[in-house]
Structure 1
Amino acid sequence: MRRYAVAYLTPSQEIKELARPAPAISAFEDAFAAFGRGTIFETEFGPTAVEDLLPGDKVMTQDAGLQVLKWVGRMTLIPDFTRQSPEMGKLTRVTADRFGLGKPMHDLVLGPRARMLYKSPSCQVRLGIDGASVPLRGFIDGVTIFEVTPVTPVKTFHLCFDKHHTLVANGILLESFHPGRTSDLALSIEMQQLYLSLFPQIKRVEDFGPMKYPRLSAEELDSVRAA
C-alpha cells in the first residue's frame, strides 16, 4: 500500500484536499509519479515549479494555450520499499539539450511514470500517426538519460485538467495525466471505486475524455525507433 494525496478544484472553485492509502500498483502509481520536484511549467504568472502549483492555476499547454489546472496528485517515492516494481524506487534524470537545444533547458528530474510526446517520421511509417505518448524511461541510455536512486524518500507529482493535454516542462513535451482506456486499468469494480475516489472532480473513468495521442509501451517505442 501507498499513501496518495490530492488537491482538487470543486465546482464552486474551492481547493480541497484528501489523502488515503491505496495499492502500490501501476494503475494508481501512474497518476502520482510523473514529475520530480523542480519540474518547471509556464503559468499565467510565469515559470512555476510543480510543487508550487495549485488547482485553479492556469498552466500553459502546447496544444491549447493556458488551461485551468483541476487536480494535483502527489506521493512519496521510497527508494528501499521492497513491495514495489524496481523502477518505482528511482527517478529519471534528463541532461540539458538531450532532445535538442533547450530540450530540456537544464537537467530535469522526472518520476518513473513520466510520458513524453514523441514525434518521428518512423511513427508515420510504422503506425500511420505523427506522434505518440511514450514512457520517458524508454530513452534511458545511461549517459544523457539515466536512473537516479534518491538517498531519502522524495515527492513526485502529476497534473490533471478537464482534458488530456501536452505540457511544456523545462522545454520538453510531457503529457498531463490520463488513465488511458478503462480496460488498461485492469481494476475490479471495488478497486475502480477506490481509484475514482482519488479524483473527486469526475464521476467515471470516461469523464477524463479522449487521449490526445495514442500510447506506446517501451517495447513498442524500441520497435518504432529501430525502423
Structure 2
Amino acid sequence: MLVAAAVCPCPPLLVPEVAQGAAEELADLRTACDEAVGELLAAEPELLVLVGDGPQAEVWTEGGAGSFHRYGVPLGVRLPSGGVDGPELSPALTVGAWLLDRAGAALPTHACAVPADAPADRLLGLGRGLAGLADRVGLLVLGDGSARRSVKAPGYLDDRAEGYDEAVARALGAADTAALAGLDVRLSGELLAAGRAPWQVLAGAGEGAGLSGRLRYAEAPYGVGYFVASWS
C-alpha cells in the first residue's frame, strides 16, 4: 500500500556540481526537494520505488547506478540498496538516486522508467502494482512540467503551457489521483511535459490510499514547469 510519495522535478541543474556557477539559482527548489524526500523517508516505508521517464520501459530491483558524466561532471550515484549491475539509470532516475543519497536513504529501493508516450491505462495499472509490492510503499516520482513556458524554454512558448501546469500543480497539491489520471497524453506530448507518465503511475498507486497532498514548489525558472509535492 502506498503510504507516502514525494514528487520532484529532475533537471540535472538540480545537482550543484552540474550547475556550478548557477547552483544558487535553484537553491529554493533544491531545498523543497530535500524537504519532500525527508518527509517521504519519515513515513517509514518498507520499500522505496523511484519512478521517472526513460527512453524505454525498464525496472531495477537489484540495485542500479547512474552518472552525470554526460554533463561533463565526474559524479556517479547508485540506488540505496543492491549492486550496480545492469543498465544505467535513466537521467531522471539518476537525479532521484542523487536526492536519496543526499538524504542518506538506506532502504530497499527499486526503480522504474516509463516512456513519455506510454498510454494512461498501462501507467495506472503499473502504479497499482507498485503499491502492492509491500505493506508500506513510498514513491519518489521524478518529472518536469511543460517545457514550453517561455520563448527561451527548450520548446519555445506555447500559450497552453501555463494552464496545463497550473492544473498539474493543483492536482499534485491536492493528491487528486483522478485529475492526474485524466491528463491528456497528446496534449502532454505537445507541451513537452515529461512528467505526465510518472505522475500517472503515482495516480494509480494512490488510488484509495486516502493520502493528502501539499504543494511545496511550483515555478518555471527556465521556461520549464517544476513542481515539488508531498503526499502523506
Structure with the largest fraction of helix? 2
Q: Answer yes or no: same fold by TM over 0.5.
A: no
Instruction: Provide TM-score, normalisation by structure 2.
Output: 0.27
Q: Which protein shows a greater Rg?
A: 1
Return the structure number with greater strand share.
1
